[in-house]
Every structure is written in structure tokens, then in C-alpha cells.
């Protein structure tokens, strides 16, 4: 396996301006001599943590799930306790890096997705709707055209910065600026050009209200953008991949069944053309 860590600020020659994140971890299969080369879809993993930490449970375990499913996988450690636009810039640089290095990592440039959890879901939501933001164009120039995900997976995401927001997440990404906070409410940013989305949540999530996902689905419906929404009845916030790899004990069956989100999400991506291809 190819395992690398990439400093995105160094790669793109972008000034850090005090940002401490922007590290991309690469998980890519080696080419096998016995068989023809494969062209793989790519997945960028953006973990949650309220923009205060980057959750380990929602990083490498998720990347490895997609690696085993035939993807080239990448995990982003973005800047925390740092307001907009730094986290979006780092996510945008990650997407551009993946596409620029498609040949090296056997990536299908037309099928590069992103998956985000909780606050990482907010960042992924911004990536899906703000891929043409001026901050990205100013830093990346023409390379900003490489930023838009071909599809996103949003896992119990923070979406709104309004009434049903997770206030800690909204306050951190906005730096306490009320006008910026309103601007970064993802449901208000959806257009017909937004990335197709697979969204899942649990009804009893007490940290990030399920209305976040409902509001996003409603915005997608209004704009005519492809989406799929799954609401599971049981389960707390932050379930990740749901298995023992990311938990200290097994879940009861009414929560364990939430693990169905992962094969459903993979199937959704396959429906949108994310599949392993043999290179001729």
C-alpha cells in the first residue's frame, strides 16, 4: 500500500497565515504485476469534532473502509479552532491535489467524492456548495476548478447555523462573526450546481438535531439536485462506522442496524458511477 502524508500548504505554495492543519494522508493500493492496472474512484474523508478536534474514529477507519471497497482513499487533518476560510481552503486543496495526482494514485478524475461527519459534514457541505468561493479562487487560481466533489456523503452533519444549529460548531467556524455565521448556513447555499449527496442521521441524535439533515434534503429537493436521505430511529451522535473498531462495546440491535448506512452509501456512489475500472 502507498501510505503518504502531504503538506497541502507546501504543495500548493499557499501561505499558512497561522493555520496548523492542511495535512492529507494517502491510502492507495500498489499496482499488482499479475493483473491489469485499475482506475479507482477516490474518497476524501473529513472527520468531525466540532471544529475543535479532528476525530480519529472518523478518519482512518473510514478511509480503510473505502480502500477495501476499491477506492483510493485520502484523509484530511484540517485546521481546528480556526475560522473560515482556512478549513474550506484546506478541503479544497485536498480535492485539487487528488485530481492533479490522479495518474500517480490511479484515480478516476471524474469520480472524486468526499465524506464528512458532524462538523466535518458541515465542511463537506461547504465543499459541495461553495466550491467556487472567492477564497478558493484567490489561493488556487485556475486550480480551483478541480475542487468540486462529484458526490458527497454527509453523516449526521451540522448543516444550519440558525435555529437548529450545533452552536459550538457554528461559533468556531464563524469566529463569532454573526454575519459570517449566517453566510455559512449550508442549506441556504445549495444551488442546482451542488454536488449530489447521500445524507444520513438518527432521529434521537441529541447533539446535532436531525432537522439539519431534513433542512438540507429540503434544499436539495427545491433545487432539483440528486440526493438520498436515511433517518434511523435509534442511535446517539458520532456513531462513525458503528462497529467495534470505533466503539468500546457492542451496540444493541436497534443501534447496530445503523451500520447499514455504509453499504447504502457505497451503493449510492456506485449508482453515480463510482466504480473500479480495469485500465486498458
Tell me: the pLDDT tens digits for 74-102? 999 999 999 999 999 999 999 999 999 99
Helix (H) or strand (E) holding 168: helix 167-174
Mean predicted confidence (pLDDT) in 197-207? 98
Mean predicted confidence (pLDDT) in 180-194? 98
C-alpha distance across the termini of the chain, in Å: 22
Instruction: Give the per-residue pLDDT at 246.
Output: 87
Beta bridge partners of 231: 201
pLDDT tens profile 142-160: 999 999 999 999 999 999 9
> What CA–CA distance (Å, rounded) separates 118 from 265?
16
What percent of the chain is predicted at pLDDT more than 70?
A: 100
Instruction: Give the per-residue pLDDT at 250.
Output: 87
pLDDT tens profile 129-140: 999 999 999 999
Mean predicted confidence (pLDDT) in 103-130? 98
> What CA–CA distance (Å, rounded) separates 25 from 79?
14
Q: Indicate the burial class of 224 (C-beta count within 10 angstroms; 0-12, 13-18, 19 or more).
A: exposed
pLDDT value at 239 more than 80: yes
Cis previous bond, 267, omega within 30 = no
> What CA–CA distance (Å, rounded) separates 87 from 91?
6
Mean predicted confidence (pLDDT) in 33-60? 96
Mean predicted confidence (pLDDT) in 12-21? 94
Amino acid at each position: 500500500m502507498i501510505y503518504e502524508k502531504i503538506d497541502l500548504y507546501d504543495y500548493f505554495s499557499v501561505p499558512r497565515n497561522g493555520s496548523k492543519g492542511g495535512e492529507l494522508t494517502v491510502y492507495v493500493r500498489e499496482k499488482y504485476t499479475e493483473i491489469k492496472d485499475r482506475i479507482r474512484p477516490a474518497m476524501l474523508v473529513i472527520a468531525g469534532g466540532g471544529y475543535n478536534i479532528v476525530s480519529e474514529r472518523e478518519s482512518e477507519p473510514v478511509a480503510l473502509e473505502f480502500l477495501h471497497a476499491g477506492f483510493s482513499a485520502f484523509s484530511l487533518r484540517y485546521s481546528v479552532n480556526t475560522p473560515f476560510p482556512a478549513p474550506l481552503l484546506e478541503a479544497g486543496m485536498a480535492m485539487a491535489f487528488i485530481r492533479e495526482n490522479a495518474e500517480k494514485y490511479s484515480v478516476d478524475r471524474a469520480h472524486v467524492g468526499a465524506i464528512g461527519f458532524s462538523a466535518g459534514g458541515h465542511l463537506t457541505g461547504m465543499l459541495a456548495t461553495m466550491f467556487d468561493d472567492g477564497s478558493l479562487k484567490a489561493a488556487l487560481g485556475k486550480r480551483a476548478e478541480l475542487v468540486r466533489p462529484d458526490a458527497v456523503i454527509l453523516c449526521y452533519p451540522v448543516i444550519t447555523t440558525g435555529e437548529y444549529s450545533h452552536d459550538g460548531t457554528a461559533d468556531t467556524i464563524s469566529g463569532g462573526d454573526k454575519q459570517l455565521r449566517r453566510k455559512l448556513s449550508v442549506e441556504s447555499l445549495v444551488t442546482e450546481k451542488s454536488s449530489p449527496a447521500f445524507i444520513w442521521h438518527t432521529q434521537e441524535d441529541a447533539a446535532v438535531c436531525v432537522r439539519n439533515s431534513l433542512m438540507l434534503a429540503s434544499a436539495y429537493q427545491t433545487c432539483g439536485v440528486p440526493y438520498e436521505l436515511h433517518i434511523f430511529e435509534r442511535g446517539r451522535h458520532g456513531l462513525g462506522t458503528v462497529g467495534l473498531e470505533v466503539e468500546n462495546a457492542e451496540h444493541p440491535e436497534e443501534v447496530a442496524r445503523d451500520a447499514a448506512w455504509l453499504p447504502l452509501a457505497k451503493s449510492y456512489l456506485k449508482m453515480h458511477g463510482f466504480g473500479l475500472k480495469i485500465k486498458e
